[in-house]
Amino acid sequence: MTATAPTVTRRPENDRFAELGSAGKFGDDYFIVIDGQDIGGTYWANAHWVEPGRNWSSWGPAGAQGGFRTREDAEQVQVAAYDPADFPPPAPAPEPTPRTPVVLPRQAPVWPSPELAAQVIEHMHAHCPGTPAGDWIIGQDPVDHHVHVVWQMGSMGLYQSGVRGTMLYQWLISLKDGGFIVEASTDEKVFGRPGKHSEIAWWLDISGRSEARFAPKPVVLKLRPETPVRTVDLGRRRPADLQHPLSGEFPESVTFTYKAAGVETKADYPKWSERVPVPGAWLVALANANRPDQTSEEAA
């Protein structure tokens, strides 16, 4: 019996970005597919440590590999390490369980959707401005009136799924902190493909806002007492006990910080300061003479 050779193909991580590239030319992220199953992927690396002309990298059974001239070379190292035993066929998807309707508590009603889009736009402009690495666009579903925040490529013109995932996560946390009811979505209905799902989320679905979370809370400011600090110029004094053991320099001044637990003493050398762990008797006397509760006559 002759074993059938595996069928090796590739597919883009996202259908909207399917530039293959070549040696010396940028290309989008692709999965490596063997017998219909994703076993790894290839991508263009453009970091400062990458050797010019060797920008293609891959991941998969051989681990993370880089420094290849072409996408094909990067793929081959993963295909060569492929073992079918490490990629068993996926188990059949379980039958979907009935969804239980979610009843929102009365103390946290959801605001009506006509206001929701304006609130999301205001929040995103204030807390989640776009960057050259990635930006966003906002739309509203005409049926359920949910608001969609969709990631899109930034002005740099480059795309990496890790960047997209990081930015979407930051936006999701920010929106949740702002009281919005939000979740990340992998289905591609916002791109006109409702039955298809991507590997990583492309957009956020916002169904409402919690009035209880959004209500402003009173802020009580507690002012901390300022820790007294005094700096005393040493002038021409060259204290032997403060001469630095490495540089041989003498401090120009000393700084005393009067804390509840005691006085912290620092020697101020020409270009840096260093804590004095065990001040000598003359430093203790100097610190006491310059305590903030001393009068000028007492200090003299």
Q: How confident is the model at residue 164 (pLDDT cuts 50, 70, 90)?
A: confident
Query: Does pLDDT of 104 surpass 50?
Result: no
What pLDDT is recorded for position 183?
87
What band does 292 get if pLDDT is binned at 50, 70 and 90? confident
Stretch 56-69: mean pLDDT = 91
Lowest mean pLDDT among 22-31, 69-78, 190-199: 190-199
Dump pLDDT digits (tens) for 10-38: 999 988 888 999 988 999 999 999 988 89
Read off the pLDDT of residues 75-93 as tens digits, 9 standing for 90 and up. Answer: 999 999 998 888 887 777 7
Mean pLDDT value of segment 116-139? 83
Mean pLDDT of 276-299: 78
Is 134 or 158 the better-scoring residue by pLDDT?
134
Please report the pLDDT score of residue 266 as a whole number.
93
17-21, 94-98, 183-187, 235-239: lowest mean pLDDT where? 94-98
Q: What pLDDT does 157 receive?
A: 63
State percent of the chain over pLDDT 70: 82
Residue 72: pLDDT band with limits 50, 70, 90:
very high
pLDDT at 106 over 50: no
According to the per-residue pLDDT averaged within each range, which of 79-83, 186-190, 242-246 is highest? 79-83
User: What pLDDT does residue 231 have?
Assistant: 92
pTM summary value: 0.36
User: 248 versus 5: which is more confidently predicted?
Assistant: 248
- 200-222: pLDDT as tens digits: 777 888 888 876 555 555 555 55
Give the pLDDT score at 109.
37
Highest mean pLDDT of the ranges 122-136, 180-194, 261-275? 261-275
Task: Please report the DSSP string for the chain in residue order.
Answer: -PPPPPPEEEEESBTTB----BTTB----EEEEETTEEEEEEEE---TTSPTT--EEEESTT-SEEEESSHHHHHHHHHHT--GGGSPPPPPPPPPPPPPPP---TTSPBPPHHHHHHHHHHHHHHH---BTTEEEEEEE-TTT--EEEEEEE-TT----HHHHHHHHHHHHHHHHHTTEEEEEE-EEGGGTEEEEE-SS--EEEEEEEBHHHHS-------PPPPPPEEEEE-TT---GGGS-TTT----SEEEEEEETTEEEEEEE-SS-EEE-SS--HHHHHHHHHT-TTS-HHHH-
Q: CA-CA distance, 146 to 100, in Å (whole number)?
A: 19
